Amino acid sequence: MLHLFYKLCDLVIREGLDTAQEAERHKRSIRYLQTQSDEAALSAGWRSWNLSAKRATALAEQPQTYPEIVDALKGFLSRTALELRGKKPARRLVIGIDELDRIEPAAAARTFLNELKAVFDVPNCLFVLSVSDEALRDAELAPVGRRDAFDSAIDEVVRVEPLDQKRAELLLGRRVTRLPVPFAALFYCLSGGMPRDLLRTARAAIAYVTPDQSRSLTEMAVWLVTREVDRIANAAGGPEEHAELAQLFRRDVVADDRLGELGDLIHQEAGTTGDRARMGATLANRAYHLDTVQKIFTDALTPERFTEVSDRLDPGSFSALARAQREIGTADTLARSTLQRARTAWSLSALPSIPPV
């Protein structure tokens, strides 16, 4: 809450609003309690008469209470919003909070949101929060069967759907010049059509290309798949048995073209019951998805075949691979089925089914 308050004060000062002086005061009060002491001394001599004065300023941290913080923030928001509304043309105070679900631990995210609700009723002030469905579930912010902190705080939820292949290509075309369409399709399949992940994948690919070194489709696919393997291994956390499965992702598995074997190994090691089995299904699907992508995006991919699988109704389409990426971790049985149909369409080896867990 205090961090948000402080950032808002910074913005008001930068914009030069009439409430800038108030913002400066709030910044000081957020950080410190200002105390002043004054000293004066009079001395007289035969040839002199001196008056000296000294003012000392000491700064100490201010122990603000939660109600005081809320009251101060609501008042400041109200005055700032009113000032913006009176401008020509009228403006609205909009406060954006991105990736709320990434606050860790999950209890801290719930606490922050519950505290923030206290200022949601300020007139002419709009709060816009972004949160991903997958991360929301992972953070356990949405327990099944009861209203969660997020649901009870928000007036309206606007769902941002993932991009289809055409829109993904259009977005990339605005950011990257002369990007070959097979490379755009590769980025699309790895990102699942999520705009943020799509652009991150594109930036990673651009970093791999140098002015004096072009990259083939095969090289780019191997590079990006290796990057994803590193990410999965480095993100290993939670119970030790879960981390043990994630750490099976190693670079040599990609180099030796053994991602399919890795998926089989995880499938066997995870067992058939409990949380370990569920985590195993997710990680095995990650391996199978990366294996499928690496085998499809090679220099042998012809323009004719590319055109065929650009049809979203084709079971081996790029849209199907992007959909499988989104399903992994949230609907693993469905993801395995989607991957199996895609692999059949590309004449790749069959995958084991996920046992009921």
How does pLDDT run across 204-218, given as a tens digit for each residue? 999 898 878 889 999
- Compute the distance between CA of residue 107 and CA of residue 231 in angstroms, rounded to an integer: 25
* 103-161 tens-digit pLDDT: 777 677 778 888 888 888 888 899 998 877 655 554 444 444 445 556 666 778 777 88
CB 77, CB 125: distance < 8 Å: yes
- Compute the distance between CA of residue 47 and CA of residue 25 in angstroms, rounded to an integer: 46
Q: What is the mean pLDDT of residues 276-295?
A: 92
pLDDT at 26 over 60: yes
Burial class (CB in 10 A: 0-12, 13-18, 19+), 12: buried
- The pLDDT assigned to 61 comes to 54
- Compute the distance between CA of residue 299 and CA of residue 291 in angstroms, rounded to an integer: 16
pLDDT at 242 over 70: no
Q: Pick the residue with more confidence: 212 or 195?
A: 195
Q: Which residues of 266-292 are buried (b: 16+ CB within 10 A; e: fewer)?
A: bbeebeeeeebbbbbbbbbbbbbbbbb
| Strand locations in the chain (E) | 33-44, 49-60, 93-97, 125-129
Closest CA to 6 of 95, 111, 121: 95
Q: How many CA atoms lie within 13 A of 128 on its CB side?
A: 8
Match 């402080």 to its residue by tokens: 6
Q: What is the mean pLDDT of residues 191-197?
A: 92
CB 191, CB 205: distance < 8 Å: no
Residue spans of the domains in the chain: they are 2-30+64-153, 165-345
- The pLDDT assigned to 201 comes to 94
- 129 phi and psi, to 5 degrees? -115, 140
Alpha carbon 165 to its chain's center: 21
- Compute the distance between CA of residue 138 and CA of residue 149 in angstroms, rounded to an integer: 15
Structure tokens at 124: 């002419």
Q: Which residues of 134-152 are buried (b: 16+ CB within 10 A; e: fewer)?
A: eebeebebbeeeeeebbee
pLDDT at 289 over 80: yes
pLDDT band at 38 (very low <50, low <70, confident <90, very high): very low
pLDDT at 259 over 50: yes
